[in-house]
């Protein structure tokens, strides 16, 4: 998947393969996954897709597929999509490595309890050279500040904390306490709503069935449009 034209289209797969110690052999999923994702996007004729910055190459590859189909059909039967990337395009794992990943054990789940959130924040990577509160610290690469940038709505206060941290005289515990407060306030209503919904599995199943039915209608219509544009017909 290419972030920019001309770059390799398989970078995410290579990264994953190195992490999983795969060398000469690759699971078929590495090749099929980008196409399956493109089908998910084009099936609904999406024009805007909210993603992290690491998924931007996937949108570009989807657009390459769309352009190829449109050229083949001689008509713009599918629209190109634009990646909608948030201000903080990627969250690192709490250990400071790569990105948050459940499989890597460095993520904070939306369903995390207050205690789980607190423990995760305490484990967060900061500045290994910031041993004492009086030591000047680095903001770059500091996971706690990265999360504050993403979730703390008081940007002025965060910038003040950064300045104090860089000068020296601000301990990691104070910064982590602020982040813990921010995440607790953010995730508490999500956790509560999730628990409430889990108590009514019948309602959840109904939502899934209705969503599946509606999705099937839309994607079936898209498939008919593409088949017709390409001159393909299915015999029933």
Tell whether the model's pLDDT for residue 233 goes beyond 80. Answer: no
Question: Could you give the CA distance from residue 169 to residue 140 in angstroms, rounded to a whole number?
Answer: 17
For the chain, the domain total comes to 2
The pTM (predicted TM-score) of the whole model is: 0.79
Residues 47 and 120 grouped into a single domain: no
Task: Identify the CATH number of the domain in which residue 194 sits.
Answer: 1.10.240.10
pLDDT digit string, tens, across residues 55-105: 999 999 999 999 999 999 999 999 999 999 999 988 999 998 777 888 888
Residues 192 and 208 grouped into a single domain: no
Distant-in-sequence, close-in-space partners of 165: CB < 8 Å, separation ≥ 6: 130, 137, 139, 142, 145, 175
The single-letter DSSP state of residue 84 is E
Residues 154 and 223 grouped into a single domain: no
CB of 104 within 8 A of CB of 120? no
Distances (CA, A) of 52 to 90, 130, 149, 177, 191: 6, 30, 15, 27, 23
In a domain, 3, yes or no: no
Longest Cα–Cα distance of the chain, Å, equals 76
Residue the block writes with tokens 């499989």 = 103
Task: Identify the CATH number of the domain in which residue 76 sits.
Answer: 3.40.50.620
The pLDDT value recorded for residue 15 is: 55
The pLDDT value recorded for residue 154 is: 97
Enclosing domain of residue 218: 11-85+201-230
pLDDT grade, residue 1 (50/70/90)? very low
Residues 75 and 119 grouped into a single domain: no
Residues 118 and 73 grouped into a single domain: no
Tell whether the model's pLDDT for residue 182 goes beyond 90. Answer: yes
Residues 206 and 137 grouped into a single domain: no
In a domain, 100, yes or no: no
Residues 120 and 139 grouped into a single domain: yes
The pLDDT value recorded for residue 9 is: 39
The pLDDT value recorded for residue 140 is: 95
In a domain, 108, yes or no: no
Residues 22 and 36 grouped into a single domain: yes
pLDDT digit string, tens, across residues 11-63: 445 555 555 555 566 677 777 888 999 999 999 999 999 999 989 999 999 99
């Amino acid at each position: 998947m290419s972030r920019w034209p001309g770059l390799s289209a398989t970078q995410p797969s290579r990264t994953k393969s190195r992490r999983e110690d795969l060398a000469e052999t690759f699971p078929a999923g590495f090749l099929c996954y980008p196409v399956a994702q493109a089908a998910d996007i084009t099936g609904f004729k999406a024009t805007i897709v909210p993603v992290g910055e690491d998924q931007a190459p996937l949108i570009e590859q989807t657009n390459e597929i769309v352009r190829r189909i449109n050229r083949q059909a001689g008509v713009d039967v599918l629209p190109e999509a634009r990646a909608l990337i948030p201000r903080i395009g990627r969250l690192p794992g709490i250990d400071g490595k790569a990105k948050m990943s459940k499989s890597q054990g460095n993520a904070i789940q939306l369903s995390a309890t207050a205690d789980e959130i607190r423990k995760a924040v305490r484990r967060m990577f900061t500045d290994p050279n910031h041993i004492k509160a009086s030591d000047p610290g680095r903001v770059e690469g500091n996971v706690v500040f990265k999360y504050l940038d993403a979730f703390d709505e008081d940007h002025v206060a965060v910038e003040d904390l950064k300045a104090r941290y860089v000068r020296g005289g601000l301990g990691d515990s104070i910064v982590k306490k602020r982040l813990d407060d921010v995440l607790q306030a953010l995730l508490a209503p999500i956790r509560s709503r999730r628990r409430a919904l889990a108590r009514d599995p019948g309602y959840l199943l109904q939502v899934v069935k209705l969503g599946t039915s509606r999705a099937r209608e839309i994607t079936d219509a898209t498939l008919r449009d593409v088949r017709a544009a390409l001159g393909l017909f299915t015999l029933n």
